[in-house]
Amino acid sequence: MGKVLMKGNEAIGEAAIRAGCLNYFAYPITPQSEVAEYLSRRLPEAGGVFLQGESEVAVSYMIFGAAAAGARIFTTSSSPGISLMCEGISYIAAAQCPAVFVNIMRGGPGLGGILPSQADYFQATKGGGHGDYRMLVMAPASVQEAVEMVMTAFPLAEKYRNPVMILGDGLIGQMMEPVEFPDDLRSEPSNKDDWATNGMDTRRSDKRNLVKSLFLDPDQLNRNNLALKAKYDRMNREEVRYETYHMDLDYRVLIVSYGTMSRVCRTAIDNLAEEGIDVGMIRPQTLFPFPVQQVHDAAQKQSCVHVASIEMSMGQMVEDVQRALQGVKPVSWYGKCGGDVPTPEEIMEFVRTLL
Amino acid sequence: MGKTFQRPEALSDAVTHYCPGCTHGIIHRLIAEVIDELGIRGRTVGVAPVGCAVLAYNYFTFDFQEAAHGRAPAMATGIKRVRPDLMVFTYQGDGDLASIGMGEIVHAANRGEKFTTIFVNNAVYGMTGGQMAPTTMPNQRTTTSPFGRRVDEVGMPIKVAELLAALQTPGYIVRQTVISPKYIKRAKRAIKQAFTYQKEGRCYSFVEVVSTCPTNWGMTPMEAIQWTQDTMLPYYELGELKTPETTD
Ligand SMILES: Cc1ncc(C[n+]2csc(CCOP(=O)(O)OP(=O)(O)O)c2C)c(N)n1
Ligand code: SF4
């Protein structure tokens, strides 16, 4: 199939279907309601299940129930809705069920605004709900990348039996771009018979399955947490993804930026290069696991005097950048979090102040 | 002569953690008997609540999921929507269902989700030590209503079966109790009817069971039964509030 012009939110819905996920529960919230509107038409036609839940809390448990019963399942929401889902996400992670959550972020805290933001970085990468859990978090910078990340999220969720989050900002959901749905990213749901509560007859077994998160015995709870930690450590080793820009140059400043923000940074980097200021960029595609080593190594370059975390938040990812650098180079943050994206000029101005 | 009374296949041989005189055990047994009689053990998925019955899955021998507090109906919705061929039930206490989970139960019932709810109303939060529940009786003393439930401050106890029966969609809504053999038989009939409607794919089914919590009521099991009879049953009237036949 060739390229089609699609709005990000609709492309995300279509990508899930193409990835082999035919089950979706959600609750409307701007700026991502078009996913639900699109799928309310598309899923019945594709022989799938669409249900609008009564709240994001309920939706997160519909997701849990369906995932625990062995189905491929996903939902989409935006920041305030994701806050409500965090309860369910904690249980899903604890019970080790695969599910995909898409957060098309808007400004916060509180009701905030409906314009793009990246202020849910902590919530997504450090565990928004209670307890020691992590999600694998991927951050797309274009509609095409959102499609590809959604399609890869399902097998990854199943591989790790863990929730995976696509963390996009409002622009990713709202903008229209040409997209393609790569056939090679289709996948079959994995066999879940050894743990899913899909009915003993279904798996022709006398052994019943139990999906739970309660471990009253401290040793057992510790063991469950160690098992979760082993998975997160493995993600740190095997799933780090990032892209670089102008890294072959003798950059004086290294920018770390993701999502829509990184696209503006590219323009700023191009313009600065014309002025004779070389700037490189690492764009994390996975926020958890964060490219700690790669950022650290890139900052070691002799020419690099400063590292800047540029994000549409009041300084969240910057803490991971500092963690990566361990003090080897100075780190600054620049960003805005009201809904408008910093302009290339604003970024250029900021970079000049670092030199 | 063969055995005339034995443990249902759907019930495990584990010793339960329930207090002496607690009615949770009786209700578990009735569910297990019904599942055996309908021959559905291999395609049943139970959803456990947060409450004294959080470990209910230890006493059954089929697939089980453990919900968060109050969210069992949403989980059951998720299971049933993606696997309509499975038999799904939630087992929930009154704090779980009528307080923190009121939103989930009302909407699942109103959508007519084709699963079954067994609602154990013992008028207190058992697991956390006997705090007041939405179903606590007027003037009943609990650890958070030490002077008795003051209805002028917190309202009258919620009659969940009546509340759900006021919705147009839900098909089978019934209230029974298990405080004597006569009532136990009726409760079993109701549970079997509820699962049968589900098996036929007919409707949402809800069985409220008026239950005892001797431990937190500060009573002996016999006193608890008497109190249920004298205080709860006049308020929580037994019987079918709705059947698919009356709805159709
Ligand atoms: C979100 C959340 N809030 C509070 C609790 C604590 N909690 C556990 S059980 C329970 C009440 C259970 O009472 P009920 O549903 O009436 O069941 P019973 O124990 O009486 O069978 C509460 C408040 C919890 N586990 N989770
Ligand atoms: S505390 Fe009450 S409800 Fe819980 S097991 Fe004991 S008697 Fe039963």
**Which residues of chain A are within 8 Å of residue B65 when distances are taken between CB atoms?**
64-65, 68-69, 197, 210-212
3-state secondary structure at position A78: coil
Closest residue by CA, ligand 1 atom 9: B51
A63–chain B Cβ distance below 8 A for any pair: yes
Does residue A131 have a pLDDT over 80?
yes
Closest residue by CA, ligand 1 atom 7: B128
Its CATH architecture, for the domain A242-354, is 3-Layer(aba) Sandwich (3.40)
From the CA of B129, the nearest ligand is 2
Ligand 1 atom closest to the Cα of residue B135 is 16
Helices (H) and strands (E) in chain A, counts: 12, 15
Domain A4-238 sits in CATH 3.40.50.970: yes
**Which residues of chain B are within 8 Å of residue A198 when distances are taken between CB atoms?**
63, 83, 86
CB contact under 8 Å between A54 and B104, yes or no, is yes
Does residue A37 have a pLDDT over 60?
yes
Listed by number, the residues of chain B in 8-47 with a beta carbon closer than 8 Å to a beta carbon of chain A are 41-45, 47
> What one-character-per-residue DSSP string does A299-329 give?
HTSTT--EEEEEESSSSSHHHHHHHHHTTSS
**Which residues of chain A are within 8 Å of residue B113 when distances are taken between CB atoms?**
none
Q: How far apart are CA B27 and CA B13, in angstroms?
A: 15
CB contact under 8 Å between A59 and B74, yes or no, is yes
Q: Which two tokens stand for residue A317?
A: 């990812």
Average pLDDT over residues A246-252: 97
Closest residue by CA, ligand 1 atom 21: B52
Q: How far apart are CA A92 and CA A103, in angstroms?
A: 17
Greatest extent of chain A over all pairs of C-alpha atoms, in Å: 72
Place of tokens 């549409």: A312
Place of tokens 């990854």: A156
Q: How far apart are CA A313 and CA A353, in angstroms?
A: 20
- If phi > 0 it is left, if psi is from -120 to 50 it is alpha, else beta; for residue B65 that is beta
Q: How many CB pairs under 8 A join A and B?
A: 127
Select the residue of A51, A64, A199 nearest B81 (Cβ to Cβ).
Answer: A51
pLDDT bin (cut points 50, 70, 90) of residue B129 is very high
Name the pTM for this structure: 0.97
CB contact under 8 Å between A212 and B43, yes or no, is no
Q: What is the ipTM, given to two decimal places?
A: 0.97
Do A4-238 and A242-354 share a fold?
A: yes
**Measured at the alpha carbon of residue A231, what is the angle toward residues A17 and A286, in degrees to the nearest 5?**
55
Q: Where are the alpha helices (DSSP H) in chain A?
A: 8-18, 33-45, 56-68, 79-94, 121-125, 143-160, 170-174, 218-238, 259-274, 292-299, 317-325, 344-353
Structural domains of chain B ordered from first start: 24-247 (3.40.50.970)
Angle between helices B72-82 and A56-68 (to 10 degrees): 50
Average pLDDT over residues B53-63: 98
**Which residues of chain A are within 8 Å of residue B43 when distances are taken between CB atoms?**
199-202
Average pLDDT over residues A101-121: 96
Give me the pLDDT at residue B2, please.
74
Distance in Å, alpha carbon of B42 to nearest chain A alpha carbon: 5
Give me the pLDDT at residue B247, please.
62
Does residue B1 have a pLDDT over 70?
no
**Which residues of chain A are within 8 Å of residue B91 when distances are taken between CB atoms?**
none
Beta carbons within 10 angstroms of residue B63's beta carbon: 29
Select the residue of A65, A87, A210 nearest B78 (Cβ to Cβ).
Answer: A65
Domain coordinates in residue numbering, chain A:
4-238, 242-354
Rounded percentage of chain A residues whose pLDDT exceeds 70:
100
Does residue B246 have a pLDDT over 90?
no
Q: How far apart are CA B196 and CA A252, in angstroms?
A: 73
Q: How far apart are CA A167 and CA A145, in angstroms?
A: 12
Rounded percentage of chain A residues whose pLDDT exceeds 90:
99
Q: Which two tokens stand for residue A13?
A: 């819905």
Q: Are A185 and A150 in contact (CB under 8 A)?
A: no
Give me the pLDDT at residue A121, please.
98
CB contact under 8 Å between B83 and A71, yes or no, is yes
Q: How far apart are CA A161 and CA A187, in angstroms?
A: 16
Give me the pLDDT at residue B248, please.
56
Give me the pLDDT at residue A143, please.
98
Ligand 1 atom closest to the Cα of residue B133 is 16
